[in-house]
Amino acid sequence: MILLGASVSPFVRKVLVVAAEKGMKLDNRPINPSTSTDPLFLSISPFRKIPALVDGDFKVADSTAIITYFEALQPLPAVLPTAPRERARAIWFEEVADTILFPAGQRVFFNRVVAPKFLKRAGDLAAAQDAQDSLLPPVYGYLESAVPDGEFLVGNALSIADIAVASMLVNMTYCGAAPDAATYPKLAAFLGRMMARPCFAGALESDRAMLG
């Protein structure tokens, strides 16, 4: 299977981590979603979003859609809990990561990393600082209160909840906006635990190769 998109995108990272957890092999090909003219990419992802997946004659974009496909193809180890309430809670955390944490963090990551490193222009550092000061604290505060005493966000096993939240937070470690251990001890410890898991290793290695 071919996965289009670089691991520094938290949505791509989420998919790479799920695949690694399930022992599924992916041929990961970085592309620039904004400028790519690759007809294959545009045929899968009409709105130019990564990740995009090709599996033979099947194509689908969107991290949640791709992970749903993986889970159906290879149910074990499961990343979607089977108990109804746990599954709903896991999707809740994935949604918080994708729709609340990502837009807040992206303003920091884009202006401090993407603009100077990949677009070769200065980022809006005031906008980055504003997002770090005003947008991230409410999300971090919520997540700090939601991290249980156990190892995982939902139930007793790794799930999409942990992978989605940690995948977004990884980008914050690249732009000086990670949750600090003094203010968010449980969240910082959670992130450390997740990043140390073998399923994150390949994606983090790809990040290092790209970010230096």
Please spell the DSSP secondary structure of the chain, one letter per residue: -EEES-TTSHHHHHHHHHHHHHT---EEE---TTT---HHHHHH-TT--S-EEEETTEEEESHHHHHHHHHHH--SS-SS-SSHHHHHHHHHHHHIIIIIIHHHHHHHHIIIIIIIIIS-S---HHHHHHIIIIIHHHHHHHHHHH--SSSSSSTTS--HHHHHHHHHHHHHHTTT-SPPTTT-HHHHHHHHHHHTSHHHHHHHHHHHHHH-
Q: How far is the CB of 197 from ligand GSH (least distance, A)?
A: 21
**Window 154-173: contact mask with ligand GSH (x via CB under 6 A):** --------------------
Q: Is 48 in the site for ligand GSH (CB under 6 A)?
A: yes
Q: Is 11 in the site for ligand GSH (CB under 6 A)?
A: yes
Q: Is 9 in the site for ligand GSH (CB under 6 A)?
A: yes
Q: Is 59 in the site for ligand GSH (CB under 6 A)?
A: no
Q: How far is the CB of 98 from ligand GSH (least distance, A)?
A: 6
Q: Is 51 in the site for ligand GSH (CB under 6 A)?
A: yes
Q: Is 123 in the site for ligand GSH (CB under 6 A)?
A: no
Measured from the CB atom, the residue of 34 and 82 that comes closer to ligand GSH is 34
Rounded Cα distance between 191 and 1, Å, is: 29
Q: How far is the CB of 161 from ligand GSH (least distance, A)?
A: 15
Per CB under 6 A, which of residues 76..105 are in contact with ligand GSH? 98
Q: Is 68 in the site for ligand GSH (CB under 6 A)?
A: no
Q: How far is the CB of 49 from ligand GSH (least distance, A)?
A: 4
Q: Is 50 in the site for ligand GSH (CB under 6 A)?
A: yes
